[in-house]
Structure 1
Amino acid sequence: MRWIDTLEGAAAGKLPEAVHRYFRQGSAGGVSVGEATVAWSSYRFRPRVLNDVSTISLGTTVLGTPVDAPILVAPSTMQRMADPDGEIAMARGVSAAGSVLGVSSNAGTTFAELGTTGVPWWLQIYVVRNREITLRMLDAAVAAGARAIVLTVDTPVVGRKEDEGETVWDLAQPGQLLANLPDGDWTDADLAKADDLNPDVIGRLAERTGLPVVVKGVLRGDDARRCADAGAAGIIVSNHGGRQLDGSVATAQALPEVAEAVAGSSLEVYVDGGIRRGEHILAALALGARAVFVGRPALWALTVGSSGGVTRLLSDLAEELDHTLRLVGVSSPSSLTPDLVTSAGPR
């Protein structure tokens, strides 16, 4: 068995049940979270032969930042429940693997602390109803060295989780999340997600921060074009790990339409959701993604092996990608093309 496949079970043995459930669960009936990995595994390859694959180069750039492989870590919260050092441990593991870290705006580690690790990081932001909170958080991230802003757009309200009994919120301790909430006497209404956003927010965030803005939560080609027209530097094809609208299309199915819609533009396309193998990464890159994000696997690796576990996860996936590139007859991710992938196997 692959080490990666053992991680969730090993993490379940270390985490309180409510925390493990929070990390793995989707919204409502769990349809989207259950389909994510299966959707990637439904693709089939049409490999090229008689091509020189004696040397493989996995390195690329994401918004100008060099990475050793096109495998990045998605933003997630409650990391201090997975490891006492939380985002610091995650950052060290990501840095050692030569990757980029997405940092949740709900993180339990301050941006200033993250900045000292040297890891290249992007801030994931929710625009909340009290815009002052969002603006001050953005300013703090810029001051601490964030390299991009990831605007989450699929959360006008938080998806319904059908919990019973003890929840992660019953176990959360002060300091485990919202370490970057600016000082103030904020109400729940202040912190509620903004439900009145339009594409203009992309330009406003870029102007405020001077950083590229990546829009996370895009599943349609027409929405991708709206983001591009509004000045986005990138988009992440994402259904929030199946945690928002249950029944949302799998990202493996949404990616081709989105990538085609913005083909020829400078906008960079990324994808997350259910990616667990080198073959899944190969399919994503061939279908138009510049890089992929992994979320839950990074949490399991952090729980089981702290920084070293995160580094091993990214390194193992990179090795699998190297292997699959050789077998598909291509020497680098930039040479992958959609004709290498077909949507279904033999019937």
Structure 2
Amino acid sequence: MMGPVLAACLLIILSTAWISQANGATCKKDGGVCTCNDQTKNVDCSSKGLTAIPSNIPVDTNRLELDYNKLSSLPSKAFQSFTKLTFLSLFNNKLQTLPTGVFDHLVNLNELRLGANQLKSLPPKIFDKLTKLTLLYLENNQLQSLPHGVFDKLTELKTLEMRNNQLRRVPEGAFNSLEKLTLLQLEENPWDCSCRDILYLSNWIREKKGTVSNIEAAECDGGTKAVLEITEEEAAEDCVYPNTTTAIPTTIITTLASSNDDDIPELPVPQENFQKFLGYQEPDHLPTQPQCLMSISGYLGLMMFFVLISAAILYVIHFLKKA
């Protein structure tokens, strides 16, 4: 009778292994690309060469790390299911823009890391729903300007990192709502101290010096003087900075209006612009090659499991007939 007993044990072992694999799949439905912890609800997808966010990350994830990948864009609904997320890191990717509303569902987020990307601007109201945020990292990007009121809803913010960008000014009242701020890094930006716009920042730094750490490190472009030392006499110009949106120069419009149709040269239209004109849109998410390979391996493993189960059942039936 040892045959049936061994077969039964084999069934138990295989079932336990499959259940364990299924529990892991709850956290690794992307095919095992990420490292997951079911107890802490942490998902680590760092350094995987990802060009898209893995699909089916558990919706109850508390901490999501996507650092050191190759993400160049985010779908607008990338994080809409992660309402329990308290930590999100996209550090060191290739992000050039952020879609409007991409963080709107992260109402419990405490820390957001967007440093070491290629962001040149931020959409208006991009952080408005993140009312519990205490740490925001935007360092080592290419930010040229900030939308008016972009930090107004972040009343719990304690740390704001913006060093090493291309900021020349901040909007009037940019930091007025940040009453709990204790650390602000503004250095390594080309602050334009010849324009009247810098006076808000200069006065704010002077007022908060000793309360908010590191703000004195902000220097005028060229490092000739600290921003907090600028006087109204020095910042006398009413500077107008170029709009970040693409506009057609007025000289071109005038030239085209005064020319005959035959004189207007035929301009090549980039394929991507033509696709946008026709209403073509890229899908929000395409699986990466590692994901496809891991999904195939998952199916093969499942097939092997059923083959072994079938063999074990036949083995039990064979011994029962002999008995």
Alignment TM-score, normalising by the size of structure 2:
0.24
Choose 1 or 2 for highest CA Rg: 2
Alignment TM-score, normalising by the size of structure 1:
0.23
Higher RCO (C-alpha under 8 Å, 6+ residues apart): 1
Richer in strand (by share): 1
Richer in helix (by share): 1
